[in-house]
Structure 1
């Protein structure tokens, strides 16, 4: 079943890699102040699908028309390349990967409306991240470390709307104080493995844009050694 497109104020409750603590999103979409292990999109019921074959290497070679990213030297983003055998699904996963990288770049810059964020986010997701990134920057925080994304899958593809999922490994990703440069290290646990499910829409320029999503910490399908 596709994720519904009903507009809800807190439908885009998700926290960035290594930044789950900054997002006070309740799982029922009420915008409460209690931290949760998951952020739900109302009506989300994504069916199971077979995993695509994944290249153990990451996608380092930029494709034609790929976005340019400007990351600080202490931040790396590794995205496992997945090939489904379907060019249309591969296109979705490519842009989902770009969206994940755009998010980390935005936190590093302290700007939720970078060119890449505007290119790969729309709907409720865009203003949500704009606010979260500003709050994080206002707290004298930025990001550092290694951000890893893997297990990318397209769950459903219907014309210009797709649902997808991916895993995130936050064990080597941390927050950092901007003024002092102090790295805010956290103890590693299963909570460092996060599954994200999302809905994306293809725009007139041919880019797939994330418009709403949900996440779950300590997702068993994402835990690895």
Structure 2
């Protein structure tokens, strides 16, 4: 599906859709408009044109299309603005990597709705109990958590406590998740995003795989 399809569903111009999808910092005339565009992109499982063209090329073997999900551990009506913005950056990075965002789920209680056979990997945004995280790891295997503070030693984790670090946090979360999906690293890795600095605390070997 193209940007024109998204624009038709959201009732906006293709130019506005392009700005919203490619620049998380772009401010629409209304929050409702941006929400409508993002919802339409998810509904259509939008993949950027470049990635879509690569999949259609007959001269090269296209990379496997990865289907990813995002689980926000807070209820949809009560999600903190910090995590709302972080999810937007994650969505952008998913599209940038040529992956499909299957859906965004809210609160671990809704995990029964997620078909693990339809997901290659899962991003968990926010704090999740050790018991829940262990269940996620057992069910989906390829899981990366993104949070303000470390809350587990069970799955790969990217820590970010400033809005300035959202882009880097999203980038490293996707790189870690895709690397784990492809079997590039096996031990638990934790990264902390700081101003102009990425601090590695575990598994330095993964740097070569995801850099």
TM-score normalised according to structure 1 size = 0.24
Which has the larger share of strand? 1
Which has the larger share of helix? 2
Structure with higher RCO (Cα < 8 A, 6+ apart): 1
TM-score normalised according to structure 2 size = 0.25
